[in-house]
């Protein structure tokens, strides 16, 4: 399990009372959470409960209708325009987004670039860092996720598990303050899930702050230090894995884990 957070420090990520509707369908009904340095929070919930929308609101791929996002003490400035909340400062959004690494179910590597080019793209072109330095760091990251031999390969020539490890390395190359994972192993053949979970476990052990939407119950139980169960756009249970997975958790959560043979 991830080490206990430093209680004295300000949260790395603070989400306050986020709401989001699509048309008349309210998908998020007021979600708040603080993630402190080193927290590994597993976000569980049935399909359609709002998990992806929640992560997408955090990094502003969707704009919440109301609420506040604070990254490392800096609040993302919002303003009203035409009766809707919109970011007040695009530059701030771009900067915040580079501080939040996002890993999707579908890898999302650039298919026309080699793995190494994928990894240095953000550091070189967004962060404007020296190319040679970015290459050296990228090679260390590829080593870390176990695909150093694939640096000059194109994504299509990698297995799904290798592509997802490359996608994680690409996110890490931006030196994010928080990593957001949206079902990172759900698109993988079962025999490839373990290699991705091992990389995520190692990241957690190094103290990375992580928010992980997952259906991997063993990851939620043994790697995360906190489990949040979402139900219909609300937080239904929230606590240490031992507590949440204990018999006292809500009926909806018991039914949910029952579906996983838990
Ligand atoms: P989860 O990730 O927990 O499966 P989602 O956040 O993807 O849930 O979706 C929650 C609900 O919001 C679903 O009913 C989904 O159909 C709806 N939804 C998500 N994105 C959009 C969108 N862009 N437009 C309309 N409805 C959406
Ligand atoms: Mg989803």
Q: What is the pLDDT of residues 150-208, one digit of tens each?
A: 999 999 999 999 999 999 999 999 999 999 999 999 999 999 999 999 999 999 999 99
Cβ of 48 less than 6 Å from ligand 1? yes
In angstroms, rounded to a whole number, what is the distance separating the alpha carbons of residues 243 and 237? Answer: 10
Q: Is the dihedral of CA 238, 43, 176, 166 positive or negative?
A: positive
Helix axes 190-205, 160-172, angle to 10 degrees: 20
Q: What are phi and psi of 256, to 5 degrees?
A: -60, -50
Ligand 1 pocket test, pick from 20, 29, 50 with the greatest ligand atom count within 8 Å of Cβ, gives 50
Q: Whose CA is nearest to atom 13 of ligand 1?
A: 48
Cβ of 50 closer than 6 Å to ligand 1, yes or no, is: yes
Note whether 42 and 214 are within 8 A (CB). Answer: yes
Say what the pTM is.
Answer: 0.94
Which protein residue's CA is at the shortest distance from atom 1 of ligand 1? 48
CB contact at 8 A, 188 and 157: no
68 contacts 15 by C-beta, under 8 angstroms: yes
Ligand 1 centroid – CA 57 distance (Å):
12
**Nearest ligand, measured from the Cα of 54:** 1
**Hey, which residues does 44 pair with through a beta bridge?**
229
115-136 per-position pLDDT tens digit: 999 999 999 999 999 999 999 9
Q: Which ligand is nearest to the CA of 61?
A: 1
Residue 258 pLDDT exceeds 90: no
């Amino acid at each position: 399990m991830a080490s206990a957070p430093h209680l004295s420090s300000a949260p790395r990520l603070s989400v306050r009372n986020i709401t989001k509707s699509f048309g008349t369908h309210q998908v998020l009904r007021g979600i708040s959470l603080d993630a402190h340095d080193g927290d590994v929070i597993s976000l569980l919930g049935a399909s359609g409960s709002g998990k992806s929308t929640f992560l997408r609101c955090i990094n502003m791929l969707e704009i919440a209708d109301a609420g506040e996002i604070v990254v490392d003490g800096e609040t993302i400035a919002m303003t009203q325009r035409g009766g809707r909340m919109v970011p007040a400062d695009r530059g701030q959004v771009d900067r915040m987004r580079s501080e939040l690494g996002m890993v999707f179910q579908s890898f999302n590597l650039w298919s026309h670039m080699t793995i190494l080019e994928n990894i240095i793209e953000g550091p070189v072109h967004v962060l404007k860092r020296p190319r040679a330095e970015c290459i050296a760091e990228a090679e260390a990251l590829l080593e870390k996720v176990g695909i150093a031999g694939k640096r000059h390969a194109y994504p299509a020539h990698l297995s799904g598990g290798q592509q997802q490890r490359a996608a994680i390395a690409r996110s890490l190359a931006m030196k994010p303050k928080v990593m957001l994972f949206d079902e990172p192993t759900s698109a993988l053949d079962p025999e490839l899930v373990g290699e991705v979970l091992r990389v995520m476990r190692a990241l957690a052990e190094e103290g990375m702050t992580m928010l992980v939407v997952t259906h991997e119950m063993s990851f939620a139980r043994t790697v995360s230090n906190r489990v949040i169960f979402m139900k219909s756009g609300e937080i239904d249970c929230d606590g240490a894995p031992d507590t949440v997975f204990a018999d006292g958790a809500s009926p909806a959560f018991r039914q949910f884990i029952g579906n996983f043979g838990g």
